Structures are given as structure tokens and as C-alpha cells.
Amino acid sequence: MTDIVIVGEMICDICSKLEKPLLDAGVRIVGSSAHLHEALPLIEKQQPRVLVMDFAEQAEVSLGLIRMANIKNEAGKILLISNFTDQELILDGITVGAKGYLEQETCGIFLAKAIEAIALGEAWLSRKTVAALLERLSDFSEHTQAEEERIVYSVSSQLH
């Protein structure tokens, strides 16, 4: 059985309609809150394997919550649910610690599978998101390499 906590008004509504199919798939909702600001105490208390979070609400607050949830519940994984497709914001959520992203309209089909995959340590991302994530990593690597070269040049010029 995979214990989950759900956070956000939209995801609470979705999960209330899917509670029986989720339970049949081995997913138990052990806590829920419609409000992001109530999430951390709930996560600390319940220590779920997966936090299912509405990512449509207050992006900056959501990103901060992802960071804090990873600190408060090291064993837990985070699945983001949203109805928007802002690729940069989704990538921000993944890079700060979420393990997956699911579009709201596909929850009825894929929610239990996504939770199971994330609970097992896998990612749940579309191929498009994986490609964008790899591109972001490549850009970061290029930037880091250029910065390292600049530092090496600076240090070596001071040694001569």
C-alpha cells in the first residue's frame, strides 16, 4: 500500500472522485489539504511515500513547498498535477525536487500509475519534458564549463 498526502483544492476534488479506484490500485490517501500553507505540518505528521500536489496554485509558493517537503520527508516523493503547460515552470518544479508531472485532464487514466512509479523511485514525465530537462542540463553544463574556464584562466594569469 502506498500512502499519499494530497495538497491543493483542485487535486483534492480530483482525488475525492478517484478515491475508490486509487485504493483498488494500492494507493491510500492518509491526509489532504486544500491549502498549500497547511501542507508541511501534514507531511511531517503523515510521512507519506508520495505527496501529490496541485501545481497550479501560486508557483513561487509551490516551488518553496517542494523544497521544504523534500527536507521534512526525505523518503517521500512529489508528483505535481496541473492544468497548465508552462514548460519552464514544470522544469523548475522538477529541478527543485519533484519526481513527476501529470496534466490534470489525464488524472483519471494515469494518476495511480504515476503514483506507483514515483513511489518506486522512477520519474513520471512526458518525453517532451524529458527533452526540455536534458536541454536545460546541457545549458547549465555549458555555463558551468565556461565559468570554470574563466576561473582557471584568471588563476593561471595571476600565477605568472
For the chain, the average pLDDT equals 87
pLDDT at 136: 87
Q: Maximum Cα–Cα distance for the chain, whole Å?
A: 72
Helix (H, G, I), strand (E, B), or coil: what is residue 108? helix
Q: Please determine, for residue 153, whether its predicted confidence score (pLDDT) is greater than 70.
A: no
Label residue 36 by pLDDT band (50, 70, 90).
confident
Percent above pLDDT 70 for the chain = 86
Q: Please determine, for residue 160, whether its predicted confidence score (pLDDT) is greater than 60.
A: no
pLDDT at 138: 81
pLDDT at 100: 96
Label residue 49 by pLDDT band (50, 70, 90).
very high
Burial 78-112 (b: 16+ CB within 10 A, else e): bbbbbeeeebebbbbbbeebbbbbbebeebeeebb
Q: Please determine, for residue 61, whether its predicted confidence score (pLDDT) is greater than 70.
A: yes
CATH number of 2-125: 3.40.50.2300
Pick the closest to residue 136 from 63, 87, 103 (CA basis): 87
| pTM summary value | 0.84
Query: Looking at the chain, which runs of residues are DSSP E strands?
Result: 2-7, 27-33, 50-54, 77-82, 100-103
